[in-house]
Amino acid sequence: MVSPVWHPFTQHGLNEPIPHVARAQGALLHLADGGTLIDCISSWWVTTHGHCNPRIAAAIAQQAGTLDQLIFAGYTHEPAEQVARGLIDLAPKAPGQPNLAHVFFSDSGSTAVEVALKMALGYWHNRALDGLCEARSRILVLEHSYHGDTIGTMSVGERGVYNAAWAPLLFDVDTIPFPAPGREQLCLDALKAACAASPAAFIVEPLILGAGGMLVYSPAILREMAAICRRHDVLFIADEVMTGWGRTGTLFACEQAGVVPDIMAVAKGITGGAIPLAATLATAPLFEAHRSSDRARLFYHSSSYTANAIACAAAAANIAIWQEEDVLGRIATLSAGIAERLEKLAQHPAFANPRQVGTVAAIDLITADAGYLSDLAPRLRAFFLEHGILLRPLGNTIYLMPPYCLDAGQLDAIFAALAAAGDQFAAKA
Ligand SMILES: *Cc1c(COP(=O)(O)O)cnc(C)c1O
């Protein structure tokens, strides 16, 4: 029987196999047909400690029998309060910069970014009502960015085949060149020039652009970008949806640059990857611009499941794991294990441009057919599937983003498969 399920980012016309997964534990997926796969990309970048973490699973079970869901306009519950306090406690801090002090819940990375953009424009709108400034609405974005698949988040992301059909709906932004090696000053100069025109905000993925191809830049550039925004009174929005929760080696990527953004979006690993939840953190001025006796100035955003209690209980358990276990130690061990093997793989003539930030590693396969629409990525996916490995290359860029519980034997198996892929898919001279 043909399945009625319509999968995301899947071309059903190609009839690629769609593996059926029955259960998962740690870094392993157990297939319905009895096979196993190593989940090298954390089930699309969300699983941090490993699948079915017992502390998180127990918290979900406990909460599901206590309070499942509650209207969050004008009501509250302990799991949400606990997560908000935990987020404020764990958020990046730096001397002389206002702390992130308020937490707005939502349910996906895309909505957390939409909320960030709405907060930024709401800030300028409400301050303009007070005659404190002109209203501002222009958003600055970094070239090659990805911030989600809703209309607003596509608008602030890279334009291409994946959003061409909706181009008429997307709003205009100003794009700052990506600070690739040798182009750092070009990027910073363009940002300064764009900031002079008083935009509302600049949104970035800190240290590494994920879906744009695992493109990395230094903490020094991130720090400089944030400083330029501060000098020009432009709100600095950090999209930590992918980079948060230890991915880059620190809990949040902004820490490495000593940057406290005005607004920060988190999602993916916030529940350890067990259940959807997201949050947008903001400094006091953002909140204060909406706090008033005037109802017209409240923050008009909600979704039915805002701060769902079961999801918040999972996030509270994740935060407890971060506070009580040596997660950063595990991440350091995993990162070192990846670095050692990546260096060896980079000697293989089929590969170029190895790069790594914490637990995220990427390398480019040298090949003649590299575009996003070439059939290379599906052929690579099938090759890795046969080798018991879940990987989803971005064009000719193969990347790893595994759960932190991955062991040395699994790392060896992954890198053996990568080398085998190099042998098989290398461009023939
Ligand atoms: C995945 C991602 C998003 C979107 O998150 P969803 O939960 O898939 O909506 C936004 N920003 C970045 C940087 C991401 O990697």
CA–centroid distance, 242 to ligand 1, in Å, is 6
110 lines ligand 1 (CB under 6 A): yes
Please give the number of the atom of ligand 1 that sits closest to the Cα of 148: 4
pLDDT for 370: 61
Residue 299 tokens, joined: 């923050």
Where residue 425 falls among pLDDT bands split at 50, 70, 90? confident
Domains of the chain: 12-52+328-428 (3.90.1150.10), 67-324 (3.40.640.10)
Which residue's CA is the nearest one to ligand 1's atom 5? Answer: 109
What's the pLDDT at 234? 98
Mean pLDDT of 301-319: 98
Position 398 scores a pLDDT of 97
Mean pLDDT of 66-93: 98
pLDDT tens for 321-353 read: 999 999 999 999 999 999 999 999 999 999 999
Q: Residues 232-261: what's their mean pLDDT?
A: 98
Mean pLDDT, rounded, for 56-76: 98
Helices 309-324, 78-90: crossing angle, 10 deg rounding? 40
The answer to whether residue 54 scores a pLDDT higher than 80 is yes
Q: Which DSSP symbol is given to 168?
A: G
Name the pLDDT band for 371 (thresholds 50, 70, 90).
low
Q: Which atom of ligand 1 is nearest to the CA of 205?
A: 13
| Nearest atom in ligand 1 to 240's CA | 13
Percent of the chain with pLDDT over 70: 98
- In percent, how much of the chain has pLDDT > 90? 94
Q: What is the DSSP string of 246-293?
A: TTTSSSSGGGGGT---SEEEE-GGGGTTSS--EEEEEEHHHHHHH-SS
pTM: 0.97
Q: Choose which residue among 42, 147, 156, 241 to substitute to test ligand 1 binding: the one with the highest number of ligand atoms within 8 A of its C-beta.
A: 241
- Average pLDDT of the chain is 96
Closest residue by Cα to atom 15, ligand 1, is 242
Dist. CA 294 → ligand 1 center (Å): 33
DSSP codes, 69-119: ----SS---HHHHHHHHHHHHHS---TTSPPEEEEEEESSHHHHHHHHHHH
What average pLDDT does range 268-276 have in this prediction?
98
- Give the number of the atom of ligand 1 that is nearest the alpha carbon of residue 211: 15
Judged by DSSP in three states, 240 sits in coil
Distance 8 CA to ligand 1 centre (A): 14
**pLDDT reading at 301 higher than 50:** yes
CA distance 314 to 308: 10
Q: Give the pLDDT mean for 266-293.
A: 98
DSSP per residue over 42-55, as a string?
Answer: HHHHT-SS-BT-HH
Q: How far apart are CA 392 and CA 423, in angstroms?
A: 18
Question: In 97-115, which positions are buried (b, 16+ CB within 10 angstroms) versus exposed (e)?
Answer: beebebbbbbbbbbbbbbb
Residue type (1 letter), 274: A
SS3 228: helix
Q: What is the pLDDT of residue 406?
A: 98
pLDDT of residue 344: 98
Q: How many A from CA of 427 to the centre of ligand 1?
A: 32
Q: What is the pLDDT of residues 80-110, one digit of tens each?
A: 999 999 999 999 999 999 999 999 999 999 9
Alpha carbon nearest to ligand 1 atom 10, residue: 147
Compare 375 and 105 and report the one with higher pLDDT.
105
147 in contact with ligand 1, CB cutoff 6 A:
yes
Tell me if 146 CB under 6 Å of ligand 1. yes
State the CB neighbour count (10 A cutoff) for residue 189: 13
The band of 429, judged by pLDDT with boundaries at 50, 70 and 90, is very low
> How many angstroms is it from 28 CA to the middle of ligand 1?
23
- Is residue 309 within 8 A of residue 69, CB to CB? The reply is yes
Quick check: CB of 238 below 6 Å from ligand 1? no
Q: Place 1 in a pLDDT band, splitting at 50, 70 and 90.
A: confident
User: Is 242 a pocket residue for ligand 1 (Cβ < 6 Å)?
Assistant: yes
Over residues 102-125, the mean pLDDT reads 98
Q: Is the CB of 210 under 6 A from ligand 1?
A: yes
Q: Is 379 helix (H, G, I), strand (E, B) or coil?
A: helix
> 369 pLDDT band (50/70/90 cuts)?
low
Mean pLDDT of all residues in 142-161: 97
- pLDDT score recorded for residue 407: 97
Write down the pLDDT at residue 372: 60
What single letter denotes the amino acid at residue 88? Answer: I
Residue 120 backbone zone (phi > 0: left; psi -120 to 50: alpha; other: beta): alpha
Q: Is the CB of 266 under 6 A from ligand 1?
A: no
Distance 44 CA to ligand 1 centre (A): 10
State whether the beta carbon of 113 lies less than 6 angstroms from ligand 1: yes
Give yes or no for residue 240 CB within 6 A of ligand 1.
Answer: no
Query: Across residues 211-239, what is the average pLDDT?
Result: 98
Q: Is residue 421 a contact partner of residue 385, using CB atoms and an 8 Å limit? A: no
Query: CA 81 to CA 84: how far, in whole Å?
Result: 5
Q: What is the pLDDT of residues 170-192, one digit of tens each?
A: 999 999 999 999 999 999 999 99
